[in-house]
Chain A
Amino acid sequence: MKSTAYALEPSRGERIARHLTTLYLILIVAVPLLALLWYGVSDGLVSLREALASPVARQALWLTLWTSALVAVINLVLGTATAFVLVRYRIPGKSLLSALIDLPLAIPTLVTGVMLAILYGPESLLGQSFTNLGFPILFAKPSIVLALAFVTLPFVIRAVEPVLIELDPGEEEAAFTLGAGPIRTFRTVILPAIAPAALSASIRSLGRAMGEFGSIVVVAGNIPMQTLTAPVYILGEIESGAPRAAAAVSALVLAAALALHGLAHLIERRLGARHV
């Protein structure tokens, strides 16, 4: 049949287009990433060991890891709750709120940093009050968490929303009518349905947070041993002419990010969550 022939055997023009696209993707994405990984490990991890011998590098990696993990958990819990409220509640101005949730995808992360610097800066009332309470936010660790939470806000919400919309409210009503409390209804009916989507999106937000740079560089203050994150540390190594140390630490973070990316992908394929 001609139709199946079309689906299986593309024309010569299509094949040429496909070859060119393939070449483009390999040159733009694969070659640079391979160069980075190769450069990072080519000296038998000597540079990595040397880099990790420095407490500044270790602190930077640890800071990036825990702040990102904290934000991934915040996204998992509060992102799921937000998706639930957006789908199930009738609140005024919901479409505006829903549109705002996509804003972190559209706004430059550097501008996010500027916003947070204004909100918690030394000239703002809020910034002064927190500093007076002995709990400074700007140029301190809380600003890193706030920036990462802003940048990754849409991940879990946007992944869970479509699943909740497709979920039959009748099932919940049935569970409720049969005497299950709201918590039990959530645990037995809603949670199994949304868990894969929420989990994979949370893992993606973890990977995204580990690489965040633009907002952090403005709000964190980048003080070594205190608020210097791994991407900002890597920038410092590049600028001070130590590309090998930068590549070694980058290769480590990149390997972790790729593993998380693969894990999220696996959850989506195995458990049938849709990657939005």
Chain B
Amino acid sequence: MSEPASAVALPVPEAPPRSRARSSSANVRRLGQFALGGVVLAYLGTILIAPLGAMAYEIIALGPLTALKSLLEPNALLALRMTAILTVLSVVINAVVGTLGAVAIVRHRFPLRPLINALSDLPLAVSPVMVGLAFILLFGREGLLASLTAALGIKVVFAFTGLLLGTLFVSLPYTIREVAYVLEELGTSEEEAAATLGASPFQIFFRVTLPNVRFGLAYGVLMTLARSVGEFGAVLVLGGSISGQTQTATTFIHDAIDQRATASAYGMALLLALVSIVLLLGLEWFKHKKHGGSR
């Protein structure tokens, strides 16, 4: 970086003092860079790396197998099964609704479009506890729609339906926003070309649009997966964490901490951490693919 400065400074008469001034200012700059780097490393070290390292150390000290073995008890397996079912449903529903919704937001012009656009983003601003409360106010005892669900024979609060509704609410933005972002960057030229060549809307969607957004969709699906597996507040409020019934992997950890069952809590936390690290690797891979593909 100091090369151009000395190259300019050479032919000028007062070269020595100026170049000395330059090099000392370059030193100041380098010192500033070191200080900034140090501050950033201290920040990331304190906030991010120390907690991660502490958990890794603790679980290695306890024995990863001991921790994971505690997951073989029936209630842990049932909690894992519940989380798996909720996650699969959430991923499938969000993949379909997210893709269709993104196409509608980006490609269509209709009166409700601004509303849909805003709604697709809104769950990010809402605390999961309030999500749980909102559904309780709708479907709980004396809820606004309680008579409707009672007539239909559906139980929502402290039941599977409630867990699913909470999970669907919090995981909604990820697929729809990712796909919308990719669609916006792509533009419409390929779809228009397909239409001009006589492709039906059905063909255009499955042969042009969907293949073009596949990496964005995959990224959104992984985010949906991570969010659904990790959801805690809404499923705690709506499910009540009834062991063997409405308990999920996260509420299992919460109960295990309360009962001081350290091995169970660490085992499940380790499993969820490993899942999220695998998801993270997938996210990083698709992020590069996504950006590479859009250029």
Contact = CB atoms under 8 A, between A and B. Distances in A.
Interface string B8-50: 1000000000000000010011001100110110011011111
Main SS at interface, chain B: helix
Q: Is the interface of A mostly helix, strand, loop or mixed?
A: helix
A107 B272 contact: yes
A53 interface: no
B108 interface: yes
Interface stretch (B71-79, B190-198, B210-218): B190-198
B230 A99 contact: no
Most buried by A among B127, B128, B202, B204: B127
A28 B168 contact: yes
Contact of B136 (A13, A150, A204, A238): A238
B284 A102 contact: yes
B140 interface: yes
Contacts of B261: none
Nearest to B125: A261
Nearest to B271: A111
Contacts of B108: 10, 14, 18
Interface stretch (A32-40, A44-52, A54-62, A188-196): A32-40
Contact of B37 (A7, A89, A182, A217): A89
Contacts of A211: 125-130
Query: What is the size category of the interface that chain B forms with chain A?
Result: 35 or more
Interface in B108-143: 108-110, 112, 115-116, 119-138, 140
Interface string B85-129: 000000000000100110110011110100110011111111111
Interface string A220-234: 000000000001101
B186 interface: no
Given A3-B196, A102-B284, A146-B47, A28 B172 contact: yes
A32 B128 contact: no
A33 B127 contact: no
B47 A24 contact: no
B232 A103 contact: no
B233 interface: yes
Contacts of A29: 119, 122-123, 169, 172
Q: Which of A108, A116, A182 has the most CB of B within 10 A?
A: A108
Contacts of B116: 21-22, 25
A153 interface: yes
A257 B122 CA distance: 10
B257 interface: yes
B188 A243 contact: no
A13 B202 contact: yes
Given A111-B276, A119-B54, A146-B47, A18 B104 contact: yes
B263 interface: no
Nearest to B98: A21
Contacts of A116: 51
B165 interface: yes
Interface in B132-184: 132-138, 140, 144, 165, 168-169, 172
Interface centre among A4, A8, A182 (most CB of B within 10 A): A182
29 contacts: A10-B107, A20-B100, A22-B116, A29-B123, A32-B134, A36-B133, A36-B134, A78-B40, A100-B52, A102-B280, A102-B284, A103-B277, A106-B277, A107-B273, A114-B253, A114-B269, A115-B55, A118-B55, A149-B47, A150-B47, A177-B8, A181-B25, A213-B127, A231-B128, A250-B133, A253-B127, A253-B130, A257-B127, A261-B125
Interface of A: 2-8, 10-11, 13-14, 17-18, 20-22, 24-26, 28-33, 35-36, 39, 78, 81-82, 84-85, 89, 91, 97, 99-112, 114-119, 124, 126, 146, 149-150, 153, 173, 177, 181-182, 204, 207-208, 210-214, 217-218, 231-232, 234-235, 238, 243, 246-247, 250, 253-254, 257-258, 260-261, 265
Given A22-B112, A214-B233, 18 more contacts: A5-B195, A6-B201, A20-B100, A21-B116, A36-B134, A78-B40, A97-B44, A102-B283, A106-B230, A111-B269, A112-B51, A211-B125, A217-B254, A243-B136, A247-B133, A250-B133, A257-B125, A260-B125
Considering the complex of A and B, which 10 residue pairs feature the smallest CB-CB distances, nearest first?
A: A211-B127, A108-B230, A3-B192, A32-B134, A119-B54, A115-B51, A261-B125, A11-B201, A214-B232, A213-B233
